[in-house]
Amino acid sequence: MKAMNYKGYAIRIEYSDKNECFVGHITGIYDVVGFHGDSVTQLHAAVIEAVHDYLATCEKLRRPPKKPYSGKFVLRVPTEMHSRMAMQAEAAGKSLNQWATEVLEEAIHA
């Protein structure tokens, strides 16, 4: 299942048997922003409202909204894998970072 995204924020959605509705929150930020809806249509509207409310609240408090991630991460792989990845990148005429970004992009959309 593909995660929902809105304005660059990833949205986690689950179904609550107890409340018989969908519940969710914005992932990857320190602030707690939640929402719910009884249908997909209601949930979609609630997501949009929650993100807009979050951004408006940050503006009112004069603090920047938290962005989920910096775009940098360290990945440790076996030496032989690193070598094969570097060779694949070079063969494609790309930096290792460009090559890995494309491979990861393909993986998250699979």
Q: What is the pLDDT of residue 8?
A: 84
b (16+ CB within 10 A) / e for 45-75 = ebbeebbeebeeeeeeeeeebeeeeeeeeee
Q: What is the pLDDT of residue 28?
A: 81
Distance between CA 79 and CA 93 in Å, rounded?
21
Q: What is the pLDDT of residue 93?
A: 94
Residue with tokens 């509207």: 45
Distance between CA 94 and CA 75 in Å, rounded?
19
Encoded tokens for 75: 């990945």
Q: What is the pLDDT of residue 27?
A: 87
Q: What is the pLDDT of residue 2?
A: 64
pLDDT tens, per residue, the chain with 110 residues: 567 888 888 898 999 899 899 999 988 888 889 899 998 899 899 999 999 999 999 999 999 998 766 778 889 999 999 999 999 999 999 999 999 999 999 998 87
b (16+ CB within 10 A) / e for 6-34 = eeebebebeeeeeeeebbbbbeebeeebe
Give the number of other Cβ atoms within 10 Å of residue 40's Cβ. 10
Distance between CA 12 and CA 84 in Å, rounded?
35
